[in-house]
Amino acid sequence: MRSTLLLTAALALIAPVARAADDEAMTPAEWGIDTTGITDPVLLGETIFQGICANCHGEDAISDAGGDIRDADDRRIRMATRGIENMPAFRLTDDERAAIAAYLADLQARD
């Protein structure tokens, strides 16, 4: 509970800075990620995650640099993709964020 309150307070402090980064944020397509025709949410999430997020968070969503983010839900993904600390902002649709959350939940369920 305490860590949730600390995270919420920290995010409130950086929100104005994160919003400014939205103008520079890129979409998956601008990253060169082709999601055309992908209808399965887990596969869509995997495609986007592997194309963008895995660079720092590792292919399995566990890395020394990005930590274990397999338990990230849509709300946490929304906050994170606004740009936090060393992480740049990304422009994702609600469906893309939900797909990444579905993929991360799938990864976590495999363990």
| pLDDT tens string 27-68 | 999 999 999 999 999 999 999 999 999 988 999 999 888 788
* Region label for 107, one of left (φ > 0), alpha (ψ between -120 and 50) or beta (otherwise): alpha
Instruction: Give dist(CA 29, CA 15) in Å, integer.
Output: 25
Sign, Cα dihedral of 95, 60, 71, 9: negative
Instruction: Give dist(CA 66, CA 7) in Å, integer.
Output: 16
84 vs 69, which has greater pLDDT? 69
Q: SS3 of 26, please?
A: strand
| pLDDT tens string 1-38 | 555 544 444 444 444 444 444 567 889 999 999 999 99
Q: What letter does residue 84 receive in the DSSP assignment?
A: B
Instruction: Give dist(CA 63, CA 87) in Å, integer.
Output: 14
User: What value does the mean pLDDT of the chain take?
Assistant: 81
Q: State how far the alpha carbon of 72 is from the alpha carbons of 20, 30, 81, 95, in Å.
A: 23, 24, 12, 15
